[in-house]
C-alpha cells in the first residue's frame, strides 16, 4: 500500500510543531533552543576567543568548531555518552553547513566554538541542531552573511514528506524510506548542505529540494521571530 | 514641563527595529551602509543581529550581545596576566591578549617590573593600536594607571554606552548619588571605589539596573527615581546578610 496519508495526520508539506528560543544559557556568548515536535536541540556559542594550541591558529581567518552530541537519555535505549562515529560526522557536517555564512575573516587567530546537545531525539536531529546553531551564532554577535535553515525531506515509498520523524524513517513497505537532510541560506536560498541516505531518482531529488526550500521559508520565520522576541 | 513629559512618552513608544543577519533593512541608492551592514545591489543588508539605527543617510546596526572587539582609542580595564622583559601582558576581556610596553609607562622604570605592576593588578589603559600582531596599550594619560582598592564588576560590553549615558550623564548621576569613584572600561569591566562597601554595592546595583533596563529612552529619569525609592531597604538587607 502506498503511503497516501501520514500516520500522525500531518499534511505532506507540514513540519511538526516548531519552537525556538534564544538566550537560554547565561554564561555562553550566544545560545538557542530549537525543536521539531519531540526533537529538541540546544546550541551554545562561545567566542570568538583565542585558540590553543597556537599552531592551530590561522592568521588569515578564524576557525569554526562544531560539536554535536546526543545526551545518553535522548533516545529510547540509552546510548553511550561521548563522541561516536556518527556524532563526529554530524559535527563536521554542521561545521560545513554553517561556515559558508559565518564571516570568519573578521576574527583572525581565534576560534568560535559551537556546542550542540540533543536533549530528546525523534529523527531530524541534525536539522534541529543546525537551526539552533544558526540563531545562537547570530545572538553571539558574530558577523554572518545570512542565517542557515535546515529541514529533512523524506521519500516514504513514493511520496515526498517534510520533516521526517522516527516512525517514517523506519518505513519499510514499497520502496522504503529515503531521508534527505538539507540546509538553505535564508536570504539567497542557496543550498549549504545536502545529505542523502537511501535511493532516489534524479528528478525526484530535484523535486525534494524544491519542497525543502519552501519548508525552510516557514522555519526561517520561526528563527527570525525567536531572535526578534529576544531583543525586546 | 508638560511638553517635555510628552516627548519622553513618545520616545518610549518608538521601538527601534531589530534586524537579523541577511535581512534587508532598507532599499535605495540614497542610503549608506555603516557598521554591521553591507550593500547588496540596491539593498542595505544586515550583517549581524542588532538594533537598526538610521541617522540621515547612514544605516548602522547596534549589536545587542557579543564579545568585546578592541578599537583604537578605547579606554579599557585589564588584569595583568604575565610579565616579560619588555612589559606586561594583559587580559582585557577580548579575543586577543594585549601588551603594555615599559616605554608606555609614565614613570621611570628600573629593575624588576614586578615591583611596579605585578600579576593580578588591575590597570585602566588606553588602546593605542590594534594590529594583526596584537593589541598595544598605554597608561600615559589622565585617569589611566593602576586601580587600587574598590570592587570590579563585569557587564555586557555592548551596554557600556548606556551606562555612561549621553555626555556622561548617567555615570555622573550614579557617582553623585553613591559618592563613589567609578571607571567604566569599554570592554565591560567596571571599577567602583568608595569609602564604604555599602556605597560600592549601591553603585553596582545601580549599574546592574541600567544594564537590565537598557534600550528604554529617558532612562536617566528612571535611575533618579530608583535612587529616591528603592536602595535604602536593599542596603539594610545586604549588611544584615554580612553579619
pLDDT tens per residue across span A189-206: 999 999 998 889 999 999
Q: Where are the alpha helices (DSSP H) in B108-196?
A: 160-164, 169-178
- The span from the CA of A164 to the CA of A162, in Å, is 6
Q: Tell me which of A168-182, B169-183, B200-214, B227-241 is least confident.
A: B227-241
Q: For B86-139, how does the pLDDT look when each residue is reduced to its tens digit (9 = 90+)? A: 999 999 999 998 999 999 988 888 888 999 999 999 999 999 999 887 899 999
Grid cell 541534525 in the structure block, residue: A126
What is the structure's pLDDT at B241?
47
Residues contacting residue A138 through CB under 8 Å, at least 6 positions apart: A30, A144, A147, A227, B20, B21, B48, B49
Domain with CATH 2.40.50.140 in chain B: 75-146
Percent of chain A with pLDDT over 90: 86
CA–CA distances in Å: residue B59 to residues A106, A125, A140, B11? 20, 38, 21, 20
Is residue B132 less than 8 Å (CB to CB) from chain A? yes
pLDDT for B222: 84
- For residue B10, what pLDDT band results from cuts at 50, 70 and 90? very low
Burial tier of A31 (Cβ tally within 10 Å: 0-12, 13-18, 19+): buried
Tell me which residue in A50, A186, A231 faces B96 most closely, judged by beta carbons.
Answer: A50
Structure confidence at residue B232 as a pLDDT band (50, 70, 90): low
At A93, list the grid cell: 557536517
Q: Does domain B151-237 have CATH number 3.30.1370.10?
A: yes
pLDDT value at residue A232: 63
Please give the average per-residue pLDDT across B30-55, as a whole number.
Answer: 91
CA distance A103 to chain B (A): 9
Peptide bond into A48 cis (omega under 30): yes
Q: Is the pLDDT of residue B217 over 90?
A: no
pLDDT at residue A230, as a whole number: 83
**Residue in A59, A142, A187 nearest the CB of B66:** A142
Q: Which CATH superfamily is domain B75-146 in?
A: Nucleic acid-binding proteins (2.40.50.140)
Alpha helices in chain A (DSSP H): 85-99, 125-139, 166-169, 202-231
Residue B12 confidence (pLDDT) above 80: no
CATH code, residues A18-231: 3.30.230.70
pLDDT at B7 over 70: no
For residue A53, is the peptide bond before it cis, meaning its omega torsion is within 30 degrees of 0? Answer: yes
CATH number listed for the domain at residues B2-63: 2.40.50.100
Q: What is the pLDDT of residue A145?
A: 94
Q: What percent of chain B has pLDDT over 70?
A: 88
Query: What is the arithmetic mean of pLDDT over B196-225?
Result: 86
Q: At B126, list the grid cell.
A: 588606553
pLDDT digits over A130-153, tens only? 999 999 999 999 999 999 999 999
**Residue from A178, A185, A174 nearest A149 by CA:** A185
Q: How far apart are CA A42 and CA A37, in angstroms?
A: 14
The span from the CA of B243 to the CA of B240, in Å, is 5
Give phi and psi for A174, each to the nearest 5: 60, -125
Q: What is the pLDDT of residue B146?
A: 94
Rg value, chain B, Cα = 21
Span A43-78, pLDDT tens digits: 999 989 999 899 999 999 999 999 999 999 999 999
pLDDT of residue B56: 85
Interface test with A, best of B13, B16, B18, B22 (most A CBs within 10 A): B22
A113: pLDDT strictly greater than 70: yes
Position A1 scores a pLDDT of 62
Cα–Cα distance for residue pair A106/B68, rounded to 1 Å: 13
In this complex, the residue of B18, B22, B67 whose CB is nearest that of residue A228 is B18
Angstrom distance (rounded) from CA B136 to CA B123:
14
- pLDDT of residue A80 exceeding 70: yes
pLDDT range class, residue A174, cuts 50, 70, 90: confident
Across B201-221, average pLDDT: 85
Res B109: pLDDT? 83
Q: In the prediction, which pLDDT does B5 show?
A: 52
Contact B64, B160 (CB under 8 A): no
Quote the minimal CA–CA distance from A109 to chain B in Å: 8
Shortest Cα distance, chain B CAs vs residue A152, angstroms: 22
pLDDT single digits (tens) B31-40: 999 989 999 9
Mean pLDDT of chain B: 85
Measured in whole angstroms, how far is the alpha carbon of residue A170 from the centre of its chain?
20
Which residue in A174, A184, A131, A180 sits closest to A160, CA to CA?
A180
Domain with CATH 2.40.50.100 in chain B: 2-63
The set of cell numbers assigned to B192 is 567602583
How high is the pLDDT of residue B213?
Answer: 81
The reply to whether ipTM tops 0.85 is yes
CA distance A158 to A200: 10
Neighbouring-strand partners of residue A197: A179
pLDDT greater than 80 at residue B15: no
pLDDT confidence of residue B17: 85
Q: Assign residue B150 a region: left if phi > 0, alpha if psi is -120 to 50, beta otherwise?
A: left
Q: What is the mean pLDDT of residues A10-33?
A: 94
**Residue at grid coordinates 517534510:** A162
Residues of chain B with Cβ-Cβ distance to A139 below 8 Å are 49, 64-65
Average pLDDT over chain A, rounded to an integer: 93
* Per-residue model confidence (pLDDT) at position B230: 64
Which of chain B's residues have a Cβ under 8 Å away from the Cβ of A192?
none
Amino acid at each position: 500500500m502506498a503511503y497516501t496519508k501520514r500516520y500522525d495526520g500531518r499534511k505532506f508539506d507540514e513540519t511538526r510543531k516548531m519552537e525556538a528560543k534564544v538566550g537560554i544559557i547565561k554564561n555562553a556568548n550566544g545560545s538557542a533552543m530549537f525543536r521539531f515536535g519531540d526533537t529538541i536541540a540546544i546550541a551554545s556559542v562561545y567566542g570568538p576567543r583565542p585558540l590553543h594550541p597556537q599552531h592551530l591558529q590561522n592568521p588569515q581567518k578564524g576557525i569554526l568548531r562544531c560539536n554535536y552530541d546526543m545526551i545518553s537519555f535522548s533516545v529510547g535505549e540509552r546510548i553511550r555518552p561521548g563522541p561516536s562515529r556518527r556524532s563526529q560526522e554530524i559535527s563536521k557536517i554542521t561545521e560545513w553547513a554553517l561556515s559558508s555564512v559565518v564571516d570568519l575573516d573578521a576574527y583572525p587567530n581565534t576560534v568560535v566554538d559551537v556546542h550542540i546537545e540533543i536533549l530528546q531525539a525523534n529523527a531530524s536531529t541534525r536539522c534541529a541542531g543546525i537551526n539552533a546553531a544558526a540563531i545562537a551564532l547570530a545572538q553571539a554577535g558574530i558577523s554572518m552573511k545570512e542565517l542557515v535553515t535546515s529541514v529533512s525531506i523524506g521519500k516514504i515509498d513514493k511520496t515526498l514528506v517534510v520533516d521526517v520523524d522516527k516512525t517514517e524513517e523506519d518505513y519499510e513497505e514499497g520502496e522504503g524510506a529515503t531521508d534527505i537532510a538539507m540546509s538553505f541560506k535564508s536570504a539567497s536560498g542557496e543550498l549549504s548542505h545536502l545529505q542523502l541516505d537511501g535511493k532516489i531518482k534524479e528528478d525526484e531529488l530535484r523535486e525534494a529540494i524544491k519542497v525543502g526550500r519552501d519548508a525552510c521559508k516557514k522555519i526561517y520565520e520561526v528563527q527570525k521571530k525567536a531572535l526578534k522576541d529576544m531583543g525586546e | 514641563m508638560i511638553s517635555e513629559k510628552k516627548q519622553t512618552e513618545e520616545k518610549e513608544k518608538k521601538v527601534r527595529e531589530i534586524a537579523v543577519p541577511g535581512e534587508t533593512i532598507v532599499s535605495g541608492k540614497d542610503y549608506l551602509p555603516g557598521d554591521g551592514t553591507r550593500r547588496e545591489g540596491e539593498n542595505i543588508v544586515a550583517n549581524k543581529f542588532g538594533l537598526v539605527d538610521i541617522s540621515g543617510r547612514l544605516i548602522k546596526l547596534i549589536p545587542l550581545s557579543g564579545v568585546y572587539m578592541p578599537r583604537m582609542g578605547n579606554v579599557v580595564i585589564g588584569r595583568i596576566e604575565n610579565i616579560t622583559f619588555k612589559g606586561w601582558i594583559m587580559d582585557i576581556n577580548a579575543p586577543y591578549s594585549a601588551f603594555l610596553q615599559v616605554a608606555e609607562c609614565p614613570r621611570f622604570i628600573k629593575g624588576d617590573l614586578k615591583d611596579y605592576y605585578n600579576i593580578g593588578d588591575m590597570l585602566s589603559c588606553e588602546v593605542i593600536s590594534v594590529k594583526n600582531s596584537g593589541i598595544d596599550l598605554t597608561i600615559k594619560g589622565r585617569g589611566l594607571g593602576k586601580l587600587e582598592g574598590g570592587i570590579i564588576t563585569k557587564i555586557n560590553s555592548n551596554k557600556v554606552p548606556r551606562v555612561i549615558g549621553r555626555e556622561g550623564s548617567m555615570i555622573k548621576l550614579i557617582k553623585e548619588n553613591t559618592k563613589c569613584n567609578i571607571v567604566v572600561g569599554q570592554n565591560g569591566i567596571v571599577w567602583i571605589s568608595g569609602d564604604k562597601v555599602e556605597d560600592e554595592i549601591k553603585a553596582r546595583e545601580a549599574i546592574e539596573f541600567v544594564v537590565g533596563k537598557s534600550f528604554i529612552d529617558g532612562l536617566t529619569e528612571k535611575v533618579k527615581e530608583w535612587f529616591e525609592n528603592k536602595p535604602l531597604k536593599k542596603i539594610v538587607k545586604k549588611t544584615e546578610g554580612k553579619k
